[in-house]
Amino acid sequence: MISLSRRSRFETRSNLSKIRAVPALSVMAGSMLTALPFIANAPLMPPFGLMLFLAWRLLQREIWHPWAGVALGLFDDMWSKQPPGTAMLLWSVAQTLIAAGDQRALWRDYWQDWVISSVLVAFVLSASLGIANLTGGHTHWLVIVPQIIVSILLQPLVMRLCGFLDQWRFT
């Protein structure tokens, strides 16, 4: 019974497109959260697009094409108001770093995933700050520390959301 339903599941086109589209669409939705109609006084909103991007990658090894960081990063740049190209570059770098780590590591579990994503989120946010300052700002690094902490604390929730979406896309 199960094998029968599974076969029919992969034969229908709509389900296949759902399986393929859900990860990318969820990351894009995360990037668009910054376009919500709130005018923020301080950088406090976590980079949900990046967090989802990393969580999917850590959950499923081969979920992204090698160029996914570039494409999804470009989309993120549309909304984040960073100098365009920031996320294109940094997301690709983050993706490459995870791949390099995976080649060396024998195993990793939930705690390692959390540490990896925390380090990468902190890295990308700090580098984004540097790039933003390159184009005329003089923001001190301490200003983004609360944002980094909030992001790290929310990462398990994002990973749980990814796990839920991963199950849902196959139904």
Partner 1 sequence: MAPQTSRRPGFSRRAQFSLFIGYIVAVLGALVGALLIVTAHFDPEGHNAVRAFLGDLASPFSSAGRAAVRGVAGVGDSVGAYINAGAKNRAMQTELQAARTQLIAGENAIHENARLRGLLKLAQTETGPVVAARLISSSGSNSRRYAMIDKGVLQGVVSGEPVRSVDGLVGQVVQTGAISAQVLLITDTGNVVPVRRATDDLTGLSTGNGDGLLTIHALVAGVSPFKPHDILVTSGAGGLYPPGIPVAVVISIGREGAIARPLADPEQLDFALIERPFVAPLPTPTTITAKVKKKKPKVDE
Of 1-9, 10-18, 21-29, 136-144: span binding partner 1 (CB under 8 A): 136-144
Among 60, 137, 157, 164, binds partner 1 (CB under 8 A): 137
153 binds partner 1, rule: CB under 8 A: no
11 binds partner 1, rule: CB under 8 A: no
Max CA pair span of the chain: 63
Instruction: Output DSSP code: residue 83.
Output: P
Complex with partner 1: residue 137 or 163, whichever CB lies closer: 137
Complex with partner 1: residue 14 or 41, whichever CB lies closer: 41
Task: Confirm if 42 and 143 have CB atoms less than 8 A apart.
Answer: yes
Among 23, 69, 98, 120, binds partner 1 (CB under 8 A): 69
Helix (H, G, I), strand (E, B) or coil at 64: coil
Provide long-range contacts, Cβ within 8 A and 24+ apart, for 82-89.
82/128, 82/131, 82/132, 83/131, 83/132, 83/134, 83/135, 86/127, 86/128, 86/131, 86/132, 87/49, 87/50, 87/124, 87/128
Complex with partner 1: residue 8 or 162, whichever CB lies closer: 162
Of 1-9, 13-21, 33-41, 158-166: span binding partner 1 (CB under 8 A): 33-41
Separation of alpha carbons 75 and 70, rounded Å: 9
Question: CB of 169: closest distance to partner 1 in angstroms?
Answer: 19
Interface residues with partner 1 (CB under 8 A) are 32, 34-48, 61-62, 65-67, 69-71, 73-74, 77-90, 92-93, 95, 102-103, 105-109, 128-129, 131-140, 143-144, 147
